[in-house]
Amino acid sequence: MSRKLTTVVLGTILACFSLLSFQANQPVEAAAAASSGKAKNVIFMIPDGFSTAFATNYRLFKGQPSVMDSLLVGMVKTYSADSALTDSAAAATAMATGHKTNNGMIGTTPDGIRHKTILEAAHEQGKATGLVATASITDATPAAFSSHIFSRDEESDIALQQLGKADVLLGGGKDFFLPESMGGKQKERNLLEEAKRSGYTIVEDRNQLQSASGGKILGLFAGRDMAPELDRRHTNEPSLKDMTAKAIDTLRKDKDGFFLLVEGSQIDSAGHYNDAAWAMKDTQAFEEAVALALDFAKKDGNTLIVIVGDHDTGGMSVGGYGQIGAKLDVLHQVKASGIFMADRLKSDRSNVKEVLKTYANIDVTAAEEAKIKSAKDAMQAINGVISERALVGWITYLHTGVDVQMYAFGPGSDLFRGLHNNTELPHLVAQVLNIDFGNDGHKK
């Protein structure tokens, strides 16, 4: 036998042994799921407002690849039915129902048709369902997966629809579950009491969340949106990782599997305020939640994870201000959001130097001090100073219309490769879950 042929034979034998060894070390369910492209569970994760510039700047901020980088599979088109620039309501409706709608509309198309969401379809098939967000749980993204309404602003009505749709709801938005007599936004109903009677465990802070048990949990940790990750230490709110962990631990007990939506809502808020440090810190918080979910999925072997932004916010750049390079290390010194710092300024803003030194470790120049003192909006001026020092540019306080990246891991993840319209995503999820997603809708 020639040396070349011997090498080929030995290589083939070693490859066979390697494959057999790999298969022997995999759970039977995991191997079957991977080969069939079917999964029992789906964790659908949305970093709201996240785009390629956020991903690149975060990699520079972290100093190494993010957990998500190796999971990149494709890109997603985000436009809405009435604009090239979608809002979160229309984008989430597309990803939840498979239908484009106008900006501001939730789970309903412009013709008044209410379309079933992928969460509702999973619920109908007997799966446990959950919603996690760092905004109000009644905000546009979680609302679009669990309710149907003409305007995203009707958050009290959204709250009414959400109970019973999801077994676990964790986020802000307590105001929308309480009656006006208790300082809430509901006309008369106390949805917390109704939820309790329906079997939900009600929790309102980090400690209560950690000790909560049972199959149904309603956690409302702020009146409206939860705090930015930068400011969380001043609260008793759980982190996105904490909420994701509790949701998975609760939902995984259902023998039929689960569908969980997790939104890193505050990334979008940071983009709207052009707050570079807030953006990086909440991206870090989102990555920690992704790492936890990924660890579960790897051990479980029967869980698909899909990670996709709904749109870009702010038009962030990597580098800028007429300089070459990036200085993301500057942001490691920032210990509070621009909102938090602006709130600590005196009425005459005479303490600009002290506030920026205390919370951002910045010795402001005379020009920077004058800029913040004279600005109509001190928060925007503070964020501008910090962004310029980090060489993180911005073009808007609104959304942009660029495509956004998508990541996936687990059974069926190959289906998400390539460039997709956001309306395709719930159909692909339904295919992986092997559930009926007949979605012609009906008028209200």
How is residue 438 written in tokens? 């007949």
pLDDT of residue 438: 76
Alpha carbons within 13 A on the beta-carbon side of 319: 5
What six digits make up the tokens of 177? Answer: 């579950």
For 193-225, give the secondary structure using H, E and C.
HHHHHCCCEEECCHHHHHHCCCCCEEEECCCCC
Q: Cα-flanking dihedrals φ and ψ of residue 410, to 5°?
A: 110, -175
What domains are defined for the chain? 40-315+409-433 (3.40.720.10), 328-390 (no CATH)
3-state SS assignment for residue 10: helix
Place of tokens 């604009």: 83
- pLDDT bracket for residue 20 (50, 70, 90): very low
Above 80 in pLDDT, residue 58? yes
Confidence of residue 363 (pLDDT cuts 50, 70, 90): very high
When pLDDT is cut at 50, 70 and 90, the band that residue 441 belongs to is low
The whole-chain average pLDDT of the chain stands at: 92
How far is residue 349's CA from residue 336's CA, in Å, rounded to a whole number?
A: 17
pLDDT digits (tens, 9 = 90+) for 262-274: 999 999 999 999 9
**98-118 mean pLDDT:** 98
pLDDT single digits (tens) 189-214: 999 999 999 999 999 999 999 999 99
- Residue 439: the pLDDT is 63
**Structure confidence by residue, pLDDT tens digits, 314-333:** 999 999 999 999 999 999 99
Torsion of CA 246, 249, 255, 257, to 10 degrees: 60
Share of the chain above pLDDT 90, in %: 89
Among residues 51, 66, 80, 88, which one is catalytic? Answer: 88
pTM: 0.92
- Please give the pLDDT value at position 4: 39
pLDDT at residue 443, rounded to an integer = 62
Angstrom distance (rounded) from CA 145 to CA 96 = 5
| pLDDT value of position 423 | 98
Rounded Cα distance between 395 and 410, Å, is: 36
Beta partners for 44? 261, 306
* pLDDT at residue 60 tops 50: yes
Query: Which residue in 40, 116, 117 sits closest to 432, CA to CA?
Result: 40
Report the percentage of the chain scoring pLDDT > 70: 91
Of the listed ranges 28-37, 137-146, 298-307, 432-441, the least confidently predicted one is 28-37
Which DSSP symbol is given to 305?
A: E
Torsion of CA 186, 163, 262, 37, to 10 degrees: -150
Greater pLDDT, 168 or 30: 168
Nearest to 407 by CA among 139, 32, 52: 52
146 is catalytic: no
